[in-house]
Amino acid sequence: MSRRRLSRRGFIKLLAGCAFALGLYALGSMPKPPQQSPLRKRRSASHYRKLSGSIVQCELCFRRCLIPSGGAGHCTNRRNENGELYNAVYERPCVVHMEPIEKEPMFHMLPGSRILCVGTAGCNFKCSFCQNWSISTRPIEETDSFDFPCEEIVREALASSSAISFTYNEPTVAYEYLHDTARLARESRVRILFHTNGGMSPEPLRELLKYVDAVTVDLKAFSAGFYRLTSASDLAPVLETLRTVKESHVWLEIVNLIIPTLNDDMALIEDMCLWIRDNLGPDVPVHFNRFFPAYKLSNLPPTPMATLEAARKTAVDAGLLYVYIGNAPGHSANNTFCPRCGRTVIRRIHFTVFKTNLDIDEGACWFCGQRIPGIWRR
């Protein structure tokens, strides 16, 4: 059998062919990188009505946006496609993190426990002092969002023995995501809460509160002018939200971020505290939080401690029983005191609980038996 001699050119062609074949084989056998799905699941929005010409009116929050086909609401998440409204952030958070429940702040619920925090893109307020503006002021397409189904949130909470909180941005704009997760959490006996600016409409809020254990509401000031100036929003819907939460018997805590020169007038703070006492009751915890320069208000200084202490004294003098100072690690007003005997019931430093002098079964002060309202058992 004769043997053909391979020329130099033929040898090079043979090598090239082998390399190409090996490349195809390697390319076919390599695992493909995960695909970034645009929207995992498209969810029809609730609480809207159809108008003529494929226009819809969203009725989820106080803005009641009129949205044409192809458009989005003020929050960027409620989107009209040919006369049907959809939620663009359903099961698509951009932040998921485990936090102490005290960071919410939520001081009268499962002290020292952890919460699985979920946040999405968008907001229906435009606060010039927002700490989380990088997600709240952007549509989902401009964030690093990812798939996190409602069922998986509940499974993770069960596995970690944590509660669930929708927070960081405004949960109203992820309403269907929060609602479906809350319903599943209730079925699985997982505690769930959310932190809101208070702009949700009463009807969807009442529907949601059926499945929720607690709510933290930002009462940014007791001034409609402040809301218009700093948040492009309004005070009246927030007051209505506070009444609605209280009437539903869902646990409620209030946060007031005191910003120097903008909402630190003690006369207005006194009016706010008297309104809380008379409309919600003296046992609703109120947190006066320290402002730090952020977003568009980086020109203002942090809140002086004297201002926070004066606000707390005003609240106590108005008859509020549980008044805290936040964003001030080590301050004695991080603690919970018994309104009867004055002893420390829960000792905290910032978000860390060091000692609990509380009968969990009775929800009462160990020293004198005074009932301390809140959610103390899982």
Question: Considering Cα of 114, then 115, then 121, then 124, what sign does the dihedral take?
Answer: negative
Question: Token pair for residue 266?
Answer: 């003690």
Burial of 137: CB neighbours in 10 Å, binned 0-12, 13-18, 19+: middle
pLDDT above 90 covers what percent of the chain?
89
pLDDT number for residue 115: 98
Task: Read off the pLDDT of residues 12-44 as tens digits, 9 standing for 90 and up.
Answer: 343 434 433 333 223 232 222 223 344 446 799
DSSP letters along 322-362, please?
-EEEES-TT-GGGSEE-TTT--EEEEEETTEEEEE-EETTT
Give the fold, CATH level 3, of 95-334.
Answer: TIM Barrel (3.20.20)
CA angle, 125 then 126 then 127, to 5°: 105
The ranges of the chain annotated as CATH 3.20.20.70 are 95-334
pLDDT number for residue 200: 98
Task: Read off the pLDDT of residues 256-310 as tens digits, 9 standing for 90 and up.
Answer: 999 999 999 999 999 999 999 999 999 999 999 999 999 999 999 999 999 999 9
Name the average pLDDT for the chain: 91
pLDDT number for residue 92: 97
Q: Inform me whether the pLDDT recorded for 111 exceeds 90.
A: yes
Cα(157)–Cα(180) distance, integer angstroms? 15
Q: Inform me whether the pLDDT recorded for 153 exceeds 60.
A: yes
pLDDT above 70 covers what percent of the chain?
89
pLDDT number for residue 323: 98
pLDDT number for residue 42: 77
Of the listed ranges 27-31, 71-75, 248-252, 292-296, the one predicted with least confidence:
27-31
Task: Read off the pLDDT of residues 156-192 as tens digits, 9 standing for 90 and up.
Answer: 999 999 999 999 999 999 999 999 999 999 999 999 9
Cα(52)–Cα(29) distance, integer angstroms? 54
Residues with Cβ within 8 Å of residue 123, at least 6 apart in sequence: 75, 130, 136, 137, 169, 170, 173, 197
Q: Which neighbouring-strand residues pair with 152? A: none
Overall average pLDDT of the 105-127 stretch: 98
Cα(334)–Cα(108) distance, integer angstroms? 12
Question: Token pair for residue 118?
Answer: 């979920």
Is pTM, for the whole model, over 0.95? no
Question: Considering Cα of 171, then 175, then 176, then 182, what sign does the dihedral take?
Answer: positive
Question: Token pair for residue 301?
Answer: 């200084």
Q: Which helix (H) or strand (E) holds 118?
A: strand 114-119
pLDDT number for residue 222: 98
Q: Which helix (H) or strand (E) holds 182?
A: helix 175-187
Cis ω on the peptide bond leading into residue 105 (within 30° of 0)?
Answer: yes
pLDDT number for residue 41: 64
Long-range contacts of range 177-181, CB-CB < 8 Å, 24 or more positions apart? 177/43, 177/87, 177/89, 177/90, 177/91, 177/93, 177/118, 177/120, 177/150, 178/208, 179/46, 179/207, 179/208, 179/211, 180/150, 181/118, 181/150, 181/153, 181/154
| β-pair type (214-218, 192-196) | parallel
Task: Read off the pLDDT of residues 184-226 as tens digits, 9 standing for 90 and up.
Answer: 999 999 999 999 999 999 999 999 999 999 999 999 999 999 9
